[in-house]
């Protein structure tokens, strides 16, 4: 009985995880951090503030506040999205399908409101979304359920009628914590990671969405 689909943004709608990696590597090494791919992967899906705080704990820097370093990362990602951002495989077909079915569509992300606007404008998909929620709009970002619960409230939808589409363990955990059905589309190299078994369904890409969605027992509103 799914009436509402709530999408994560980074890694689901846009291939932007590489931009976050690049921005974080550039900014954190510039303030004296020793770059580690393992640490970077560990923070996938977390808020920029949480990521910045982690790197600071590991490699304390001087001369720049946490807020300044965090904003430098965000600004660099924004620049890269504007220059190179590309829509992920299957996204446009999925959004078009859901809109035709009368399903309510929302966006819930740990990214900032400014980055949400940059991404939706770059991909030209703004009109599909009836609500957008940033981690800055709620008390806690993912893996807390706040962004998903707020998006559901904005759309007058009950959590049990919502489907979350995520790519990260952090985001999938947020969806489950919200009491929602979760589809996860992990990066291919992590597809077999057992931690993603918490999701209700695991997809290789969004071209598999329609078939899996129709397999659910839903009622069109």
H/E segment holding residue 164: strand 162-166
Please tell me whether residue 121 adopts helix, strand or coil conformation: helix
CA gap 62, 191 in Å, rounded: 39
Where helices occur in the chain by DSSP H, the ranges are 17-30, 37-42, 48-58, 66-84, 91-101, 113-123, 146-154, 169-177, 209-214
Nearest-CA neighbor of 133 among 163, 158, 118, 154? 154
Q: Is 10 a catalytic residue?
A: yes
Q: Which of 10, 78, 146, 167 is catalytic?
A: 10
Residue 155 backbone dihedrals phi, psi, to 5 degrees: -100, 10
CA gap 4, 162 in Å, rounded: 5
Q: Is 193 a catalytic residue?
A: no
Helix %, strand %, coil % for the chain, to 5? 50, 15, 35
CA gap 220, 209 in Å, rounded: 16
CA gap 103, 189 in Å, rounded: 31
Q: Which of 8, 78, 146, 167 is catalytic?
A: 8
**Which residues are the active-site residues?**
8, 10
């Amino acid at each position: 009985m799914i009436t509402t689909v709530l999408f994560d943004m980074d890694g689901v709608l846009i291939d932007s995880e590489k931009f976050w990696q690049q921005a974080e590597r550039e900014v954190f090494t510039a303030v004296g951090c020793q770059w580690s791919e393992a640490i970077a992967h560990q923070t996938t899906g977390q808020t920029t503030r949480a990521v910045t705080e982690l790197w600071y704990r590991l490699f304390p820097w001087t001369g720049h506040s946490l807020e300044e370093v965090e904003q430098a990362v965000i600004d660099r990602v924004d620049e890269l999205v504007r220059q190179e951002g590309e829509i992920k495989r299957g996204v446009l077909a999925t959004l078009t399908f859901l809109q035709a079915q009368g399903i309510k569509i929302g966006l819930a992300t740990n990214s900032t409101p400014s980055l949400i606007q940059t991404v939706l404008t770059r991909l030209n998909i703004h009109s599909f979304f009836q609500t957008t929620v940033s981690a800055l709009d709620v008390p806690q970002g993912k893996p807390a359920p706040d962004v998903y619960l707020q998006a559901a409230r904005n759309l007058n939808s009950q959590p049990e009628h919502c489907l979350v589409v995520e790519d990260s363990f952090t985001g999938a955990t947020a969806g489950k914590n919200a009491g929602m059905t979760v589809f996860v589309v992990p990066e291919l190299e992590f597809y077999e990671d057992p931690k993603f078994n918490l999701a209700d369904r695991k997809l290789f890409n969004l071209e598999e969405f329609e078939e899996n969605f129709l397999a659910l027992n839903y009622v069109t509103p």
